[in-house]
């Protein structure tokens, strides 16, 4: 079943409310975070709601999905920089609780193992936010990634580098590899919210609906998760079978 909302603003309101519920229930909850254009309205709404409601976020833990190899946290296109800009600098988080893969590590293999272990040591992810690439990638798990993968280094596909080149001055500057949480890490979350917005993702979603579960479309791994929700705007849902689309009643309450 697909949850279809009028637009990205309505999805942001819904997920902000869900995130706040989780934090109210467990102030030390561990959140799995993503970057990318899809997440921006969600973080903006969450920041607004947390401020308005005076919610304490100082004890939560977070793990980001991925980071480019070779970019420092100061680089404007690093995911560390994105998170600072859109979320971490906006609310009184405890910096030591906020985790991203380190794109500058020289011990890549060891770092990846430690990252997966650190997620487990925090009690696992309560809610994993996800976006999807037009080729079906989640995190930077490109087509062909085994579903049992932990955190690992990936060579980015040409499709993904082209998609992301809009954030860099030229194609040459788009990093060739990244560190990503693996599909097994993602599936270990107790709840997953995949957010898909925009007409350019409509065909990707049709592939999800029509396909089976295959590493060639990494996000089809979510079909194996008992508590994964797919939230779409009308544009991304435009090619889906209407009988599989549920339109939740919209509440403006935060
Ligand atoms: C980002 C990430 C990626 C993006 C995906 C969609 O941390 O893991 O999988 O979620 O590339 O990106 P946008 O939202 O920019 O379309």
Is 66 tagged catalytic? yes
pLDDT in tens, 46-77: 999 999 999 999 999 999 999 999 999 999 99
Residue 185's nearest CA partner among 131, 239, 254, 139 is 139
Residue 58 and residue 90 in contact, taking contact as beta carbons nearer than 8 Å: no
pLDDT in tens, 70-109: 999 999 999 999 999 999 999 999 999 999 999 999 999 9
Residue 236 and residue 197 in contact, taking contact as beta carbons nearer than 8 Å: yes
pLDDT in tens, 184-240: 999 999 999 999 999 999 999 999 999 899 999 999 999 999 999 999 999 999 999
Residue 252: pLDDT band (50, 70, 90) is: low
Is 233 tagged catalytic? no
Residue 182 and residue 117 in contact, taking contact as beta carbons nearer than 8 Å: no
Is 207 tagged catalytic? no
CA of 132 to the centre of ligand 1 (A): 5
Residue 223's nearest CA partner among 22, 64, 2 is 2
Q: Which pTM does this prediction carry?
A: 0.95
**Ligand 1: nearest atom to the Cα of 131:** 10
- Is any ligand 1 atom within 6 A of the Cβ of residue 193? no
Q: Which residues contact 98 (CB under 8 A, 6 or more apart)?
A: 61, 62, 83, 88
CATH code for the domain defined by 2-246: 3.40.50.1360
Burial class (CB within 10 angstroms; exposed 0-12, middle 13-18, buried 19+) of 144:
exposed
Q: What ranges do the domains of the chain cover?
A: 2-246
| DSSP structure class, residue 35 | -
- Residue of minimum CA distance from atom 12 in ligand 1: 36
Report, in angstroms and rounded to the nearest whole number, the Rg of the chain calculated over CA atoms: 17
Pocket test for ligand 1, best of 34, 67, 71 (most atoms within 8 A of CB): 34
| pLDDT over threshold 80, residue 119 | yes
Hey, what are 220's tokens? 């089809």
**Which is catalytic among the residues 14, 49, 102, 142?**
142
- Residue of minimum CA distance from atom 2 in ligand 1: 139
């Amino acid at each position: 079943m697909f949850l279809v909302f009028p637009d990205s603003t309505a999805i942001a309101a819904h997920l902000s409310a869900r995130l706040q519920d989780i934090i109210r229930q467990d102030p030390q909850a561990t959140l799995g975070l993503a970057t990318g254009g899809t997440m921006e309205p969600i973080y903006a709404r969450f920041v607004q709601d947390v401020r308005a409601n005076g919610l304490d976020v100082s004890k939560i833990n977070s793990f980001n999905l991925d980071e480019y190899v070779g970019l420092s946290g100061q680089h404007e296109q690093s995911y560390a920089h994105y998170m600072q800009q859109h979320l971490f600098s906006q609310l009184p988080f405890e910096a030591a609780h906020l985790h991203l893969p380190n794109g500058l590590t020289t011990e890549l293999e060891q770092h990846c193992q430690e990252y997966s272990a650190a997620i487990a040591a925090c009690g696992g992810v309560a809610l994993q936010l996800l976006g999807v690439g037009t080729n079906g990638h989640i995190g930077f798990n490109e087509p062909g990634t085994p579903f049992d993968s932990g955190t690992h280094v990936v060579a980015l596909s040409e499709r993904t580098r082209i998609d992301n080149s809009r954030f860099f001055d030229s194609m040459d500057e788009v990093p060739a590899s990244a560190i990503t949480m693996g599909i097994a890490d993602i599936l270990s979350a107790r709840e997953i919210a995949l957010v898909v917005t925009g007409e350019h993702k409509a065909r990707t979603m049709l592939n999800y609906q029509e396909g089976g579960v295959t590493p060639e479309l990494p996000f089809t791994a979510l079909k194996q998760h008992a508590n994964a929700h797919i939230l779409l705007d009308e544009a991304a849902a435009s090619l889906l079978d209407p009988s599989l689309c549920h339109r939740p009643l919209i509440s403006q309450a935060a």
